Structures are given as structure tokens and as C-alpha cells.
Amino acid sequence: MNFGRRGRPAETVPPLGRPVPGRDVPDPCLVVIAGPRLGHCIHVHEVPVVIGRDPGADFQITDPSVSRLHCTIWQDAGRIHLRDFGSKNGTVVNGRRVDHTTLREGDQLVLGDVVLKFVSGQLESRYHQALFGLATLDTLTQLLNRRQFRILLDEHVGTLAPEAPFSVVIIDVDRFKQVNDVLGHDAGDRVLRAIAMTIRRHLRPDDAAGRLGGDEFAVMLPGMDLDAAAAWAESLRAAIAALPGPVSISIGLAERRDPTDTPTLMLHSADMALLRAKKDGRDTVRRSP
């Protein structure tokens, strides 16, 4: 059997910063129920899906307890097959270490410190996806919540090549307290939802957006240096300024300048740039020096 690139997507999860889609899930799947990538689904079909820590794995789990190429799973004649690749910590199914086995509804897999559950019914698949949404999305805006955004940011930065460009954006709504005080909190909620929708429309497939709290948002832009991020941010600022009503945003930008730069450092730099945007009159974009 060839374990190469898949012919169909290995995982189906909500696009980053977008709501969970309410649709049927035709394939059986493995759901991560403990460990990194909590709530993500690995859909199983005829093309083998390789699970491991390696960036080339079909489903990557960046946890040191998971081997680079840990195991593979595929469907054949209605049966779900699982094979371990000689991993260091082994593949454990229902408490028993296995080299090769077939899975049944409800089986639990342990890969190092990561736990997955096999589900084949559409109802339970939708249930797990709904739980994923409740645990990771902000209920008002349907962007990622603060915790999940930080988890994704940390995971992504941890896997970047040293020379890979990467930028972060922090967005704050200008004079938002006045909107709530004058027009009421319902109007304020409508403003936040409209801004979140505009942010989502500007996201590329690998970007992620989250609501940090209140009227503050953040976006990560893999593959963008500071110049490209500034152009992206200016486009977003103009789009939000064009929304109905007197609404505007201030934006601060920062990029990873050194492979040792941490997500916390980049967010702090973007936050300092945001403060400069506020001091410079709002409704503007400022980048970290």
C-alpha cells in the first residue's frame, strides 16, 4: 500500500476564525478529545491518512509525545483500518497497544499524550463539531475566542521555518464606548458582528482571526512580511470605514523579525503600534518599528 499524498482532504474543521458549518459529515472520523488540536476531526476515506508530528503528515499534531510519522488510518470495504508506523510511544486502542487493527464505533486511540475517539455516525460527528465550536469560537462574532487564537498562534509560530515571513495584527474599534453609551449595547453588538464579518471576508485560507475581548480583535497572517501586512490592514481599514454608520478601526502591526521572536513578543509589538495609531488620531494603520 502506498502512503502518499491524499486524494481528498484529511480533516474537516471550521476555517480559522469562521463559524462551524451546519452540514452532514459523510465520512467516519477521528475526533481529538484531549491534547493539541482539541475538537478537530480527521475524516477517514479510502486514501490513507498519515498522522504524525512531521509537517508533511496529512494530519499534523505538534506534540513531542507523537512520533514524526506515528500511524495511518484508511477505509477499505466498509472497514476502518489503523496501522502504527513503529512509533516510539505506540498506538493504543482501548488500552491495548496495537500494530494493526480495525476500528469500531466509540473506540478510543491514544497517541502519546493525545487522545482521539472514532465516530462513524453523522449525528455524533455533528455533535463533536458543535462542541468544538462552543469551546473555540466567540459566540457573538463567531471568530476564534482569545484562548483558541493564542493556541493556534503558538502552534503556527512553533512550526515556522526560520526565514518564513509572519505578521500579526491587532485591531481596536474607535470610540466604541460611545456607540454603546449613545446607541445601546444591541447596536454595539451589531457593530462588532459587522466588523467580524468584514475581517472574515479578508482572510486567506491559512489566516486566523480572533476576538481578544471587548472591541479588540487579532489576526495572524502567515507568509506576509510587514509591507504586505500593512497593505492588507489598510484594505481592511478602508472596508470597515465604508460600513454604514460612523464606525472606524485603528490597527497595529508587527512581524517576526527573528526566529527567536515569540508570539507574546509579536503581540506586544503590535499592541504598541496600535497605541501609536490611537495617538495619531485613530482610523489609521501603524507598524512596529
**What is the sign of the dihedral through the CA atoms of 25, 60, 268 and 224?**
negative
Cell 465516530 sits at which residue?
119
- The b/e string for 229-243 (b: 16+ C-beta within 10 A; e otherwise) is bbebbeebbeebeee
Q: Where in the sequence numbering do the catalytic residues fall?
A: 215
- Asked if 137 and 143 touch (Cβ cutoff 8 Å), the reply is yes
Record the cell numbers describing residue 125, joined without a space: 460527528
- The b/e string for 174-200 (b: 16+ C-beta within 10 A; e otherwise) is bebeebeeeeeeeebeebbebbbebbb
Closest CA to 195 of 239, 162, 134, 129: 239
pLDDT 10s digit of each residue in the chain, 289 long? Answer: 334 444 444 554 444 444 333 344 457 889 888 888 877 888 898 999 999 999 899 999 989 999 999 999 999 988 999 999 999 999 999 999 999 999 998 899 999 999 999 988 665 556 556 566 666 788 899 899 998 899 889 988 988 888 999 999 999 999 998 888 778 888 889 999 999 999 999 999 889 999 999 999 999 999 999 999 999 999 999 999 999 878 999 999 999 999 999 999 999 999 999 999 999 999 999 999 8
The single-letter code of the amino acid at 199 is: I
pLDDT at 8: 45
The values of phi and psi at residue 167, to 5°, are -130, 155
Rounded Cα–Cα distance for residues 118 and 109 (Å): 8
Closest CA to 225 of 288, 164, 165, 161: 165
pLDDT at 80: 95
Record the cell numbers describing residue 90, joined without a space: 505506540
pLDDT at 133: 61
Residue length of the chain? 289
pLDDT at 39: 77
pLDDT at 5: 45
Q: What is the pTM of this model?
A: 0.64
pLDDT at 65: 95
202 in helix, strand or coil?
A: helix
